[in-house]
Amino acid sequence: MIEFEHDLVQDDRIHRRLYTDPAIFDLEMRRIFERVWVYVGHESEIAAGGDYKTAKIGRQPVVLAREESGAINVLVNRCMHRGSIICRDEKGNSHFFRCPYHGWTYKNTGELIGVPRRQRYPDDFAIGTLDAMHVPRVETYRGLIFASFNSEIEPVIEYLAQARHVVDRILDLSLEGTIGLAPGPNRHRYPANWKFQAENGVDGYHAMFLHESFFAIQKRRADSARLAPRNEELGWTQAFDNGHALLARRLPDDEVASVRARFPEYYDALEHKVGAERFRELFEQTNLFIFPNLYLILNQVRVIQPVTFDDTIVTMTPFTLGGAPSALNELRLREHEQGFAPAGFIGPDDYAAFECVQEGLAAASVPWLVLYRGIHDEQTLPDGSRRGKPSDETPQRGMYRRYRELMNASAPA
């Protein structure tokens, strides 16, 4: 195994090889994706007993399966016999998974219960040792399901660190305190490294330039969703512990009033439930990154799935707010598609830019990408997080501090 050269990540710069070296990509899969909590799905996607859906932890295929008892198992989607996936569909309902190759059958608890023509195995064949492998740790936070191959990792609630309060703020916009992923995803692919997407969702610097056409369209349509470039005092960036990061903008009073005016009954009920002060806090344009693969960004849950060092799949699911009128949830759908679907007015421009960066980084003569925007007056807050201006590279510096720690520490089991 190669060792990670620790000086490839410095406080204010990162080396181009992080995006171009397949060996570094392999190491990321082991040292990051197999060591921390990885988001694998939402409870609303496997709501009933027998429901299942497939996901990836790094490159490893897994299947999330809900037992009748309500318990969630995350199984490695790989037959213990000769290696085939045991679940071929993205989602469905079944209490059993049967390998398509030789018909070995597993319960959704992982227990191996069927081996065709078993008499040709010797008497001491220990079927009980060939149950499907469980991902050892599975925990949820407010419906978000995380799994980890690291059996020693801290509980999810601690892993989320200060970012937990931002998750709460996003979900508390629902009168019932819940979100739903029933609208289903857009899945997007781009030919460049996964970390461009990780960095980009909390990059407040690019929008005013790269997404100029989107902001111009908003000006044409006074009634459309308001997203503003965040070069103003209402916005900020933040780097939390464990590589999580935030780009946020507090909505000014007139914008809150206009959002509220469209669904007055709903927002009145919400204000009544949470109180005026909390209600005001909930109106934030929020892009939250949970290291290493999850974004809660505006109206959507976004999941980054690295494929190779220059190939990435992103799944974006607009979420509904529990207790909200269907017209409000439909509006959220349309806002999502406008910006972020594969034919949207924002996301595809990001992917086009990532492709340009991947092309540019072929320039081996120039080693560094520089991340020192705003480094000179970054604040450290009492909770230990760091805060910068909206267009500062505070989030990216935070991510790469965590990245460096994980990549430098030699792998556990």
Partner 1 sequence: MKAALPVLERADAEALLYREAALLDAGELEEWLTLFAADATYWVPENDGDDPHAKTSVLYDDRGRMEDRVWRLLSGSAHAQIPPSRTVRFVTNVRIGERAGDVTLVHSNLLIVEARKERTRIVAGRVEHRVRPHSAGWTIAQKKIDLVDRSQALYNLTFVL
Instruction: Give the interface with partner 1 as residue ranges (CB under 8 A).
Output: 182-191, 210, 212-214, 216-217, 220-221, 313-315, 317-318, 326, 329-330, 333-334, 336-338, 341-345, 348-349, 351-353
Nearer to partner 1, 330 or 378 (CB): 330
Least separation in angstroms between residue 253's CB and partner 1 is: 27
> H or E stretch including 156?
helix 156-159
Q: Residue 103 region, left (φ>0) first, then alpha (ψ -120 to 50), else beta?
A: left
Question: Which of 168, 171, 189, 190 is CA-nearest to residue 179?
Answer: 171
Q: Cβ closer to partner 1: 217 or 369?
A: 217
Residue 187 or 387 with smaller CB distance to partner 1:
187
CB of 351 to partner 1, least distance (A): 6
CB of 279 to partner 1, least distance (A): 27
State which residue, 111 or 330, has the beta carbon closest to partner 1. Answer: 330
Q: State the Cα–Cα distance between residues 55 and 305, nearest whole angstrom.
A: 9
Q: Which is nearer to partner 1, 5 or 90 (CB)?
A: 90
CA–CA distance, 267 with 338 (Å, rounded to integer)? 24
Long-range contacts of the stretch 195-198 (C-beta < 8 A, 24+): 195/18, 195/19, 196/19, 196/312, 196/353, 196/354, 196/357, 196/358, 197/304, 197/312, 197/314, 197/350, 197/354, 198/289, 198/291, 198/292, 198/293, 198/304, 198/399
Q: Minimum CB separation from partner 1 for residue 332, in Å?
A: 10
Cβ count near 169 (within 10 Å): 18
Distance of CA 362 to the CA centre of its chain: 28
- Which value, to the nearest 10 degrees, does the dihedral of the CA atoms of residues 198, 42, 229, 247 take? -60
Taking Cα atoms as reference points, which of 63, 125, 132 lies closest to residue 104? 132
CA distance 384 to 256: 30
Of 40 and 239, the one with the shorter C-beta distance to partner 1 is 40
298: number of Cβ within 10 Å: 20
Residue 27 vs 304, nearer CB to partner 1? 304
At residue 210, what are phi and psi to the nearest 5 degrees? -65, -35
User: Quick one: which of 288, 238, 291 has its CA closest to 399?
Assistant: 291
Query: In the complex with partner 1, which residue's Cβ is closer, 119 or 326?
Result: 326
* CB-based contact 95:105 (threshold 8 Å): no
Helices 264-274 & 253-262 angle (0-180, nearest 10):
120
164 vs 332, beta carbon nearer partner 1: 332
Contact assessment for residue 300 and residue 185, using Cβ atoms and an 8 Å cutoff: no
Residue 360 C-beta: closest distance to partner 1, Å: 14
Min dist CB 294 to partner 1, Å, is: 17
Name which of 112 and 304 has its Cβ closer to partner 1.
304
State the minimum distance, in angstroms, from the CB of residue 293 to partner 1: 15
Indicate the residue among 9 and 324 with the shorter CB distance to partner 1: 324
Strand boundaries in 82-125, DSSP class E? 91-93, 96-98, 105-107, 112-114
- For the bound state, the minimum distance from the C-beta of residue 192 to partner 1, rounded and expressed in Å, comes to 11
Provide the minimum distance between the beta carbon of 63 and partner 1 in the complex, in angstroms, as a whole number: 18
Asked if 294 and 352 touch (Cβ cutoff 8 Å), the reply is no
Phi, psi of 5 (to 5 degrees): -80, 110
What's the min distance (Å) between Cβ of 207 and partner 1? 12
Burial of 122 (0-12, 13-18, 19+ CB in 10 A): exposed
